[in-house]
Structures are given as C-alpha cells and as structure tokens.
C-alpha cells in the first residue's frame, strides 16, 4: 500500500476513533471550557506565570480549527452546566486531558487533509514509522509562502485599547476576597462602566477594509455597516473586559497562597470561558450600541448557536461561531469571540446557511466594493482616466486605468471578493482567477484597432496603439502554484498590494507608472514575502498510534502588523 492510500485509510479510522472518545460524553461546557483553556494558554501564556509567553498566531490557529470539532462537540450533553467553571471542569482527569490533546491534533489533521486530497503535498511513511508531508514541489512551497504572506497583510485588525482600568480592577479583586470569594451586585455596575469605555475604543479602532457596498451591507447584515460595527465593537469590548478581569485575578493569585490563591486562579479561569446570563449580555449590548432588540437578535444568528439543537449550520472552513447558547446563558472565550467578528464571517455564514439570499441579494455587491477600494489609490496616479464595467461584446473590463501620456492602460479583472479559508475555498478562488485570466486573454487576442476602439469608447477620447497591462484583483489571496505558475506577465494584486505599489511609484516619481505597474507589483510582493515569510520548519502532531509531520511557515508577526497598519492607512486614511 502506498503512503497516500495509507494516510487516507488512517483518516477514515481517526474519524471513527474521535467519535468514540469518552471525553465527548462529558457535558458541553466541560469539554469546550477545557479547549478554551488551551486557547487562553496559547494567546496569553500560563496564567500562573508572571512571564508572558503568548503566541497569538498559534492561538488563532487553534480557534480556527475548532470549526472542525464543533460537529462533534454539539453531540455532548448540554446538562449539567456546573455551579461554576471549577465545578464544570472537575470531571477532567489525566485520561481526559490526553484525549483533549488528541482532539486538538485531530482538528489540525482535519485542517490538513483537504490540502492532501488536492495535491498540496507528497506523502511518505506509514502508520508504524509515522507519516511525513512535504510540499509537492519547490515551486509549490515558494508560491505557498508568497500567497500566505500577501494574504496576511490584508487581514482586518483592531487597534488595542489604551485604557487599563487598574484602580477599578483592583477594587473588584479586593471586594471578591473580602466577600469570601464571591461577587456582589456592584460588579454589574463596574462591568458596565468599563465595557462602555472599551466599546468606544473598539468602535474607533476597527481596521477593516469594507468588503461590501452600503446597499450590500444592508442586504448581508440586515443593518447598515455603521450599526454592524457598533454591534461587533460591543462584543469586542466585552471580550476585552473579560481578559482584563482574568489578568487582574491571576495577578493577585500569583502573590497569594493557600485557599486564597486557589480561589483567585479559579476566578481568573472563569473569565477566560465565561458563562453569563443572556439577558445581561444582550441588554449590555443594547445599552452600548443603541440597536434595537430585533437588530441584535438578527446579528446574533451569525455568531451564536445552540448545542441543544444539535446543529450549527454556519460552521466550517475555519469559521467557528464563538457564542454558545446554554439554557439562559451565553458561553464564549474572549479571544475566540473577538477573532471571529470580521464581516467576512457574516458573508461566509450567509453563503453556507442562506445560499439563495447570498446569491440573489449579496454577491452582486462584492466585486463593485472591491473595485471601489482599488480605485482609491489608483486614482492618485498622475494624469489617468478610470472607467469601469465596460462591456466590449466578448466580455467585460471591470476597471480600466488609462494614462494618456504613456498611452498605456491597466486592464483589471476583479474576482474572488471574499478572503478564502481552507482548501475548498482556495480552490474556488483559483477557479475565479482562471476565469479572470481567460477574460484578459480574450481582449488581448483582439486586433489592435479593435482594442483601441474599446478603450477609446471607455475613456471618451481617441487612442491609437494602446499598450495593455493585465491585472487580476482579488480580495486577499490568489491560490496555489497551479495559478501562480500560469500567470506569465499578468500581475495579481489585492487592495493592500495596489496601495503599496502606487505609493512606491509616486515615491520614486516614476515617469511611466502604468507601464511600470506590473514590474512594481513584483518588487513589492518580493519585498513583503522576504520580510514577512522567514522560512519553513517542520512540526509533528501525535495521532494516537502514529504521527504526522508537516511543513509550517514561519511568519514575522511584527512585519505583518506594520504592513496591515500601512495598508489600512493607505486605503482608508489614518
């Protein structure tokens, strides 16, 4: 049996093994809170240690992989919830901890296998010696790093709040100790005051390039983009508040001993996987945002699910609905919640759970929004004419950028207006890029005089012998080496790359910016890849009776953070 076949057989066996785990017979809150403990540890380091050893990239990866586990987790019994988190976690034994590790390894395996099936890797080894994945070719490895790096700089982010609330948090901890390790009603007042301030900071600190037109936002979200931003700012503020409380109790615990230390650490844990009354949380969101109850209920459907219903239609491909409805309470992890609040995820849920609504009311607004964003930096090029949605009979030009001085034009095809997650969506993106390449080629094959006539009609002035520069514009990424290797002279860009290219052309006072556009795209992409993607390393996961070793890309998070900031400022202003 060859290694590829053996790995596929292992996949089927692991699917059966994981469903039979005794761990999954425990209550939902018990299992998910234990998983949230791992998430918190990766995001912030051990709460018992004063030294920070956080790794947000690993934490985010685990949160994304929870999407592969949710179909298993919703089969856990909902009851009992436990008196508190310590009580809920009390059934966890060393055996269950080992099963928890296996569950997380299985999630990573589940994330990888669609890529194996689509030919990303060569497979070697067997069950006895362990399996090893290597990239299908050197070219595949190179372009995988390139695509990941260029995607990462286009991701949304929040400006982190500057307020720390030391005095209020110390007071909360002191009262908790004085009241024999319990909270009185005044905690609600403190929480509300802090949440209000954090809400305002997050509302002003959202850094996400719009992915829909205003009309599209109303069709997708059921509310305006401004109202949607209020909603997610409230939940981001609540998440940040929970993390502040977890930090405050852990800090006090590290300087305590005995029962006091134990109770304080347990209270810190409570805020990393809080179970809070639904009426309180949704009432707080209502008070913070000014949205109606109906608007909040509508938006909650994208981010919440009920384990009691034994289904979560919106889960998959890296999206994990972060809020679980348990009886009359809501359960979440602050980092998981905050990381899932992007508008892209609403579109993902719509496309998966309400396909007809997405197709009929939303999808038509995606590419126009992408084009509008790209026009912002492109319009800064000197002496250019912009025209869009040009029907030339054999196809459409999504955006034309013509320089009369150079007699050159960017022919831009806009495709794949949602950032992909997972092998299935990457394959769909590749299909859209192939479509763009066909459209670019179709125009280029026309006689020069016919091309001139099309451009002339679009810009409203005579041209002769126009030089075309072919460009594919996507929201974030472009695909695997299967796409990159067939690009030829075609430039592929996302809005972040467009903005960086225009800035470089203007900074160098290029005399022919449109003609030099494709070469400058190459320079900018090379530079970002060199600085952000620092190389590949191998990692191994334990899969019960065997192991799987795979390549992992090392990314410089500081470089990515700076590039995301620059990208947003170039496109949206400071």
Taking only the tens place, the pLDDT of each residue in 283-326 is 999 999 999 999 999 999 999 999 999 877 767 777 899 999 99
CA distance to 12, 79, 314, 316, 386, per residue, from 353 (Å): 27, 27, 6, 11, 37
**Per the structure block, which two tokens stand in for 453?**
């006539």
pLDDT confidence of residue 391 = 96
pLDDT the model gives residue 52: 66
Specify the pLDDT at position 160. 82
CATH numbers and ranges of domains, the chain: 3-117+157-207+209-341 (no CATH), 363-535 (3.40.1350)
Q: Where are the beta strands (DSSP E) in 433-493?
A: 467-473, 491-493
pLDDT score at 310: 82
HSE of 523 in the Cβ direction (CA atoms, 13 Å)? 11
Q: Is the separation of the CB atoms in 434 and 538 below 8 Å?
A: no
Annotate 38-100 with three-state secondary structure.
HHHHHHHCCCCCCCCCCCHHHHHHHHHHHHHHHHHHCCCCCCCCCCCHHHHHCCCCHHHHHHH
- Where the chain has pLDDT below 70, the residues are 52-53, 184-185, 314
């Amino acid at each position: 049996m060859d290694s590829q076949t053996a790995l596929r057989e292992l996949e089927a066996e692991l699917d059966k093994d994981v469903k039979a785990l005794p761990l999954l017979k425990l209550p939902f809150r018990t299992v998910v809170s234990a998983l949230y403990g791992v998430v918190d540890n990766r995001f912030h380091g051990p709460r018992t240690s004063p030294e920070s050893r956080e790794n947000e990239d690993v934490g985010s990866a685990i949160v994304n992989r929870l999407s592969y586990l949710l179909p298993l987790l919703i089969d856990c019994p909902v009851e009992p919830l436990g008196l508190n988190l310590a009580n809920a976690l009390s059934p966890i034994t060393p055996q269950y901890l080992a099963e928890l590790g296996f569950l997380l390894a299985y999630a990573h395996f589940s994330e990888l296998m669609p890529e194996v099936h689509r030919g990303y890797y060569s497979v070697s080894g067997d069950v006895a010696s362990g399996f090893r994945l290597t990239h299908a070719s050197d070219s595949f490895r190179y372009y995988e790093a390139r695509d990941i790096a260029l995607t990462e700089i286009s991701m949304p982010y929040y400006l982190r709040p500057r307020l720390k609330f030391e005095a209020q948090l110390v007071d909360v901890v002191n009262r908790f100790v004085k009241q024999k390790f319990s909270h009185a009603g005044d905690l609600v007042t403190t929480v509300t005051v802090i949440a209000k301030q954090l809400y305002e900071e997050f509302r002003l600190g959202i850094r996400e390039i719009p992915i829909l037109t205003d009309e599209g936002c109303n069709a997708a979200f059921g509310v305006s983009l401004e109202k949607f931003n209020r909603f997610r700012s409230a939940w981001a503020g609540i998440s940040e508040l929970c993390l502040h409380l977890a930090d405050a109790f852990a800090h006090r615990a590290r300087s305590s001993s005995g029962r006091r230390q134990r109770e304080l650490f347990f209270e810190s844990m409570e805020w990393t996987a809080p179970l809070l009354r639904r009426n309180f949380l949704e009432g707080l969101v209502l008070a913070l945002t000014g949205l109606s109850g109906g608007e909040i209920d509508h938006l909650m459907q994208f981010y919440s699910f009920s384990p009691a219903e034994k289904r979560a239609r919106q889960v998959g491909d890296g999206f994990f609905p972060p809020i679980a409805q348990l009886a009359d309470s809501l359960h979440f992890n602050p980092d998981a919640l905050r990381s899932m609040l992007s508008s892209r995820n609403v579109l993902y849920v719509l496309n998966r759970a309400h396909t007809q609504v997405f197709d009929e009311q939303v999808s038509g607004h995606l590419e126009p929004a992408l084009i509008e964003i790209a026009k912002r930096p492109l319009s800064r090029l000197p002496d250019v004419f912009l025209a869009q949605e040009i029907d030339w009979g054999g196809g459409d030009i999504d955006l034309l950028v013509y320089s009369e001085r150079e007699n050159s034009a960017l022919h831009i095809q806009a495709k794949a207006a949602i950032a992909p997650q997972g092998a299935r969506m990457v394959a769909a993106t590749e299909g859209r890029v192939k479509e763009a390449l066909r459209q670019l080629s179709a125009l280029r094959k026309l006689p020069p005089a016919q091309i001139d006539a099309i451009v002339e009609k679009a810009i409203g002035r005579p041209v002769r012998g126009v030089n075309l520069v072919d460009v594919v514009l996507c929201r974030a990424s472009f695909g695997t080496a299967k796409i990159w290797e067939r690009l030829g002279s075609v430039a592929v860009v996302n809005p972040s790359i467009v903005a960086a290219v225009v800035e470089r052309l203007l900074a160098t006072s290029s005399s022919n910016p449109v003609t030099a556009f494709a070469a400058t795209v190459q320079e900018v992409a090379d530079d970002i890849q060199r600085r952000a993607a620092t190389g590949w390393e191998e990692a191994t996961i334990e899969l019960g009776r065997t192991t799987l070793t795979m390549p992992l890309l090392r990314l410089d998070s500081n470089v990515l953070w700076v590039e995301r900031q620059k990208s947003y400022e170039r496109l949206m202003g400071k």
